[in-house]
Amino acid sequence: MTTTETKPATKTATRARPRLRADSATWRGRLGYAALILVLGYLIVVPLYKLQSLAFSDGAAGYEAQYGRPDIGETLRTTFALALGSLVIAMVLGTILAFATSRLPRRMGFLRIVPLLPIVMPSVANIVGWAFLLSPGPGYLNALLRHLPWWSGSDTGPINVYSTTWIIIITGFGLTSFVYLFVSAGMQNIGSEHLEAAEISGSSTIGVFFKVVLPLLRPSLVYGGGVALLLGLGQFTGPLLLGQNEGVKVLTTEMYRRVSESPTNFAAAAAAGSPLVIFGLLVIFAQRYLLGNQTRFVTHGGKSFAPTHGRSAWAAVVVAVYGLVALVLPLIGLIIVSLSPYWSADLSWDLFTLDNYRALFDTPGIVESVVTSVVTSLAAVAICVPLGLGVAQLIVRRRDLPILRLLGDVITALPLGIPAVIFGVGFLLTYTQGPFILYGTKTIIVLVYVVLMVPFATRMQLTALVSMGNTYQEASAVSGAGPLETAFRVTLPMLKPAVLSSVALMFILLTHEFAASIMVRSATTQVMGTLLYDHWTNGSYPLVGAMAILMSVVTGAGVVIAMMIGGRNVLDNL
């Protein structure tokens, strides 16, 4: 921070400096930030702009093609049913889980990580796992349920994982972790004095929950709900993998169909995505308006109490059951299929085989896809961290550049509000034409990953910078350290936990990225998720099971490495 923009007391010093030097330094800074915003703008805004201008070209032929389809009403209805249905499930489960984890007995504290683990499990793996359990014919769980007297005698069902209802339920389960993240963060800010006071006054646990906790959580519920609604609207993996069977369509899968038919119709795909873009923009601007000045949220300060643990055994049961259903069950489905020669409800020990794991190495492309996933994810993370830090610095420290700040703030928020599928289609459109033809390269994957992760890189470092306040840097300056020394000895070490958790989060999210990857991949440049999808549509279920396990292992290894570098609490900082 240069002296020009701080306290009046230093103004005399500024005036004493040669004007030219101060000006050139200021301009260098402005140009640097302007270049940063330009790069981000090109990456994030141009693909969206190109899509829309294409959709409106030729007398809005794209809109006519997409919204003139006879099934468009059904598609829209399913899209909103999926968003709202999964939102309700995720809000209820996420809030209960957050409350439960705050009441865990001390020796059960390790269970706090359970609600976050579904984020670590790749969504394609999770969904495929559920299909193996709940497919009406050979689904293992269905086969077990058919042993119950009231369902016996049938050879299909009782649950149909390919139906809209079950796609909604499974999506809701997946979104629960995200709601949990926001709500549990809000929960931690509730002083335990409030809870203890309520309990001492004779309130039951349920009473405390409804009369004290829920009202205090309103802001995080609204925020987490907004995010979950956006995620629900943009859901792609579940409807694509499970919806084919019964023709369940949502707007995102329609986008995929329009660009993967011959001839490709980008205009119609863009038109299909428009409601999602508009809704995302609305949410982003509403959030800007509601949150306003970020510095109001400085939280570093003395704490007069340490959070106490609860003593509730029910809390441990709730969290454990959730972990069992959301994580262990689909994993079991995957493991059984991956050890079988073919997927069938009739299991027998003699058939168990490790052939599918050997096939991981023999089948062309699988090993390459793992390498591509890891390399592109690491490259994107390496680009994202400095980009995010730059934008965070701009937003927090450069009040003198209001327009650039606003642009940086809004542009980096866009990928959070707008579904990844749309960026995937936009990138495919943008980079199969000049000036930069990147189709078929790893670069296009890296770039779209950068765009998807910039919001996380920016927000997490921004939060850390905001909550640091200016006092540490000022104290360092007063003690005689120069700006460089302050940056290296004070700012960066203090940001280290935030940077490390953002690196861990981004790596996890990217290694199982699917929605954007499937658009920008080419036939021979594939990541793990897209190749798994190809084998899924080919019906090679046992190999798919083994691939899903491999994918989970790769992501899991990323988490373990992140924990080794960043300490065991890396995931807590998400």
Partner 1 sequence: MNAKRLSVVAAGMLALGALSACGGDDSGTELAGSWDEIVAEAKKEGEVTIYSTHAPDNLEALKKAFEKKYPEIKLTYVRGTDADILPKVETEKQTGKGTADVHMTTDAAWIQNATDQGYNVEIVGPDFDETDYNRAESVLDDKWFLTSATVFGFGWNTSKVPGGLRTVEDILDPEMGDGRLGITNPAGIPTYVDMYRRINEDWGGNFVEDLAGQKPRVYESAVAIGQAIASGEIWGSPTAATTLLTEKENGAPVDFAVPENPFGVPWYSQVLESAPHANAAQVLADFLVTPEGQAAISHDYIAVLPDIEGTGVPGADVLAQDVELPDPATLDQDSVNAYQQEWEAEFQG
User: What residues line the site for partner 1 (CB under 8 A)?
Assistant: 1-2, 28-29, 32-33, 35-36, 39, 43, 69-71, 135-138, 156, 162, 244-247, 257, 259-264, 341-346, 364, 383, 386-387, 389-390, 393, 432-433, 436-441, 443, 446-447, 450, 483-484, 486-488, 491, 522-524, 534, 537-541
Task: Tokens 């199969």: give the residue.
Answer: 432
Distance of alpha carbon 169 from alpha carbon 325, whole angstroms: 12
Q: Which is nearer to partner 1, 220 or 458 (CB)?
A: 458
Minimum CB separation of residue 535 from partner 1 in Å reads 9
Task: Tokens 């609204």: give the residue.
Answer: 222
Minimum CB separation of residue 260 from partner 1 in Å reads 6
Q: Which is nearer to partner 1, 109 or 386 (CB)?
A: 386
Distance of alpha carbon 441 from alpha carbon 104, whole angstroms: 48
Minimum CB separation of residue 570 from partner 1 in Å reads 22
Q: Which is nearer to partner 1, 279 or 431 (CB)?
A: 431
Minimum CB separation of residue 472 from partner 1 in Å reads 14
Distance of alpha carbon 87 from alpha carbon 344, whole angstroms: 33
Kindly state the tokens that stand for 160.
């149909």
Q: What is the dihedral of CA 193, 194, 199, 203, to 10 degrees?
A: 180
Q: What is the dihedral of CA 138, 142, 145, 147, to 10 degrees?
A: -10
Minimum CB separation of residue 395 from partner 1 in Å reads 13
Q: Which is nearer to partner 1, 4 or 573 (CB)?
A: 4
Q: Which is nearer to partner 1, 36 or 551 (CB)?
A: 36
Cβ atoms within 10 Å of 42's Cβ, excluding its own: 13
Local structure of 433: helix, strand or coil? coil
Q: Which is nearer to partner 1, 109 or 137 (CB)?
A: 137
Minimum CB separation of residue 127 from partner 1 in Å reads 16
Minimum CB separation of residue 431 from partner 1 in Å reads 9
Minimum CB separation of residue 397 from partner 1 in Å reads 8
Kindly state the tokens that stand for 122.
């790749």
Q: Which is nearer to partner 1, 252 or 393 (CB)?
A: 393
Q: Which is nearer to partner 1, 51 or 229 (CB)?
A: 51
Minimum CB separation of residue 137 from partner 1 in Å reads 4
Q: Which is nearer to partner 1, 175 or 520 (CB)?
A: 520
Cβ atoms within 10 Å of 55's Cβ, excluding its own: 24
Q: Which is nearer to partner 1, 99 or 343 (CB)?
A: 343
Is residue 105 a contact partner of residue 170, using CB atoms and an 8 Å limit?
A: no
Distance of alpha carbon 445 from alpha carbon 456, whole angstroms: 18
Is residue 241 a contact partner of residue 134, using CB atoms and an 8 Å limit?
A: no
Task: Tokens 């200016």: give the residue.
Answer: 470
Distance of alpha carbon 399 from alpha carbon 28, whole angstroms: 16
Minimum CB separation of residue 46 from partner 1 in Å reads 12
CA 373 to chain centre: 16
Inter-CA distances, 115 with 57, 130, 232, 318, Å: 46, 18, 18, 10
Q: Which is nearer to partner 1, 212 or 382 (CB)?
A: 382
Amino acid at 522: S
Distance of alpha carbon 391 from alpha carbon 384, whole angstroms: 10
Which candidate, 492, 105, 113, 34, places its Cα nearest to that of 309?
A: 105
Distance of alpha carbon 374 from alpha carbon 551, whole angstroms: 11
Kindly state the tokens that stand for 224.
């987490």
Q: Which is nearer to partner 1, 102 or 458 (CB)?
A: 458
Minimum CB separation of residue 333 from partner 1 in Å reads 13
Minimum CB separation of residue 252 from partner 1 in Å reads 16
Q: Phi first, then psi: what are they for 105, rounded to 5°?
A: -60, 150
Minimum CB separation of residue 212 from partner 1 in Å reads 43
Q: Which is nearer to partner 1, 177 or 265 (CB)?
A: 265
Q: What is the DSSP string of 374-385?
A: HHHHHHHHHHHH
Distance of alpha carbon 231 from alpha carbon 173, whole angstroms: 12
Which candidate, 454, 56, 491, 39, places its Cα nearest to that of 267?
A: 56
H-type alpha helices, 244-365? 251-259, 266-291, 313-323, 329-338, 355-362
